[in-house]
Amino acid sequence: MFLNNSLYEERLLPHLIVDALGKYDEHPCLYLGGETATYKEVRRKVSQYSQALKEKNIKVGTRVALLSENCPEIVFLQLAANVVGCCVTPLHPKGSSEDHAYVLNDAEIEVLVYQPSQYEQRARELAKVAPGVNRFLAFGPSEVGEDCTALASTFDPAPLTVPDIQGKDVNNIVYTGGTTGKPKGVVHTYASLTYMTMMQMAEWEIPSRVRFMVVTPLSHAGYTCLVPTLLRGGCLYVPPSFSPDTFFDMVEQHRINATMLVPVMLYSLLDSERAASADMSSMVSIFYGASAISPVRLQEALLKWGKIFAQFYGQTEAPTCFANLRREDHDLDVPGRLECCGRPSPWVHVALLDDNGSEVQRGTAGEICVRGPLLMQGYLNKPEQTREVFEGVWLHTGDIGRFDEDGFLYIVGRKKDVIITGGFNVFPREVEDVLSAHADVEQSVVFGLPDERWGEAVTAVLKLRPGVRQSDELLSSLIDSVKAAKGSVQAPKAIHFSDSIPLTPVGKPDKNQLISRYQT
C-alpha cells in the first residue's frame, strides 16, 4: 500500500489566517481607533510586520511576549506571529510588574513586544529583572526598545506564506489567573488552537459577514474572536474602552451583530439608563462566559433583548467551547435551564467522574473531565502538576457538575471551593444562584471561612443593585431565601456587602482576595 504523510497534512491556524486575509480586498476588516482597515490593508500590514519579525531573527519557535492595550498594532503583530511561526505569550495589560517578570522568566521569553505609550516604564523595569529577554520591540518610538512599527514600514508588502510548522509545535503559552498560587504556563500547540477555532466555527452561531465587537483585551480573550471573524469575512470592531455608553453607541452606529461579554459587563449594560432606549435590533449573538452568570440577570436580559444570548464554557487548559448553550436553548419556559452551561460539544469527550475515576450516575455531581484534540499539551516546567491534571487519561477541570435528564450540564462549584460545614458539603455556586435571584442583589460570591464550631462557615459577599441600601430586614430576607431553597446548612453564617467585587485578570470573581479581606 502506498502511503505518503503529505496526504494527511493538517491545515493549521496559519493556513486559516492566510486564506482568510486573502479572500477579500476592499471589505472592511478592522475598526479600531476610529478608522477602518480593509482586508487588503490588514494583509499588507501583517506582511510588513512578519518581515520585521524575521529581520530581528524571530522565527519558528522563538518565544515572544506581548504587552499592549487594544490597538491596531497588536492585531497585526499577533497575526504576523502566526505567519512567522513563533510562540506567543500575552502579558495581561493590568498585571503588575512582579507578575510580568515572573512570566517572562518562567516562559524563558526572548523577545518583548510592547506599546510604549502605555508601557515604556514597565519595559524599563522588566529589562532589569528579565535577563533572558534580549530583544525589545515597541509599537512606536521608545528609549528601551527598537521601533518595530517603523521597521515594518521599511518593507514592501509581499504575499503571505505559511511557516514550516507541524501541529505538535507550540503556538502559545498562556498563564492562568494565579488565584491558587503562582500562575501556571498552559502550553498550546498549533493543532489544539486550530481545533478550538474549528469548534467555534461549528458550535458558535456567528453571523455571515459578522460585525463583531470586541470589548475584552485583544491579547487574551478578544483574540479568540479574531480568526472566526476573518473566516466569516467579517469585521472586528474595537471600542477604546468598555462602558455602557460606548457599547450602545457602537452597536447603533455600526449595526454590530455579535459580541462577547463577561457577566459583569452584561450587568452594567442592564443597569444603564440606556438599556431601555438603545437600538439593539441589529444584534444576533451575544456570547458570554468566563465566569458564572446570574440566572435572574440573564432572564432580565432575555426579556429585554430576546433570544440573542449564547453561553460558552471552557478553561485555559481546554479553551473556550467544550460546552455551549445555544440561543434556542435559553428557554424561559423550562425552570432552571438558565442555570446550566449547555450541552457538551460533540467534538470532545466529556464525563463526570468521582474520586475513584469512575463515571457518576445521571443527576449525580462529579468532576467535569474532558479529552480530545482541544486540550493543552501540559503545564510549562511543571511535570507533577501536569500528571495530576491528566490523571486517568482525562483532563480534570476541577469544576463539579451534574447532567440533567436532557443532557444539559450544570456547574455546581469548584472542587477546591467545596465548603465542608458541620460535616456537610456545600457547593458555593448553588448558594450564589439563590442569592443572585433576590430582587435587590446584583452579584454574589460565596466561599468558606475557618470556623471553630462548624469547621468552615458559609460566607457571602454581595453587591446590591443601584439604589438599594443594606438593612437588617434585607439581611434576614437573604438568609431566609437560602434556607427555603437549599436548607439551613447552606444558609450563610455571614453576609458582607461591598460596592464592587474584585476580579481576576480574566474577569472572574477573585475569591482569594475576598477571603483575605474577610478572614479574621
Do 270 and 244 meet the contact criterion of CB atoms below 8 Å apart? Answer: no
Could you give the 3-state DSSP secondary structure of residue 471? coil
Within 10 angstroms of residue 185's Cβ, the number of other Cβ atoms is 22
Q: What was the pLDDT predicted at 218? A: 87
Q: What was the pLDDT predicted at 247? A: 97
Which of 29-38, 117-126, 178-187, 231-240 is least confident?
Answer: 178-187
Whole-number Å distance between alpha carbons of 367 and 372 = 17
2-6, 67-71, 292-296, 515-519, range with greatest mean pLDDT: 67-71
pLDDT at 180 over 50: no
Q: What was the pLDDT predicted at 181? A: 58
Structure-model confidence comparison of residues 378 and 241, the more confident one: 378
pLDDT at 216 over 50: yes
pLDDT level of residue 214 (50, 70, 90 thresholds): very high
Determine the average pLDDT of the residues in 260-275.
Answer: 92
Domains present along the chain, CATH in parentheses: 37-189 (3.40.50.980), 204-346 (3.40.50.12780), 348-415 (2.30.38.10), 418-518 (3.30.300.30)
Q: Which value, in Å, is the radius of gyration of the alpha carbons in the chain?
A: 23
In Å, what is the CA distance from 495 to each residue of 82, 300, 458, 471, 476?
Answer: 48, 25, 9, 11, 10
pLDDT at 10 over 60: yes
Q: Which of 152, 145, 85, 157 is nearest to 115 (CA)?
A: 145
Q: What was the pLDDT predicted at 182? A: 76
Whole-number Å distance between alpha carbons of 266 and 354 = 34
Q: What are the pLDDT digits (tens) for 130-139?
A: 999 999 999 9
Q: Which of 78, 83, 53 is nearest to 163 (CA)?
A: 83
User: What's the N-to-C CA distance of the chain in angstroms?
Assistant: 72
Residues 6 or more apart in contact with residue 178 via CB below 8 angstroms? 99, 504
Determine the average pLDDT of the residues in 492-519.
Answer: 85
Determine the average pLDDT of the residues in 155-161.
Answer: 97
Q: What was the pLDDT predicted at 233? A: 95
pLDDT level of residue 427 (50, 70, 90 thresholds): confident
Nine cell digits for residue 47: 506582511
Q: What was the pLDDT predicted at 506? A: 63
Q: What was the pLDDT predicted at 96? A: 86
Whole-number Å distance between alpha carbons of 185 and 123 = 21
Q: What was the pLDDT predicted at 520? A: 67
| H or E element at residue 89 | strand 87-90
> Taking all residues of the chain, what is their mean pLDDT, rounded to a whole number?
92
SS3 content of the chain, % helix, strand, coil (to 5): 35, 25, 40
One-letter amino acid of 196? M
pLDDT level of residue 516 (50, 70, 90 thresholds): confident
266 Cα distance to chain centroid? 15
pLDDT level of residue 57 (50, 70, 90 thresholds): very high
Q: What was the pLDDT predicted at 179? A: 43
pLDDT at 395 over 80: yes
Q: How many residues does the chain have?
A: 520
pLDDT level of residue 487 (50, 70, 90 thresholds): confident
Determine the average pLDDT of the residues in 276-298.
Answer: 92
Structure-model confidence comparison of residues 218 and 328, the more confident one: 328
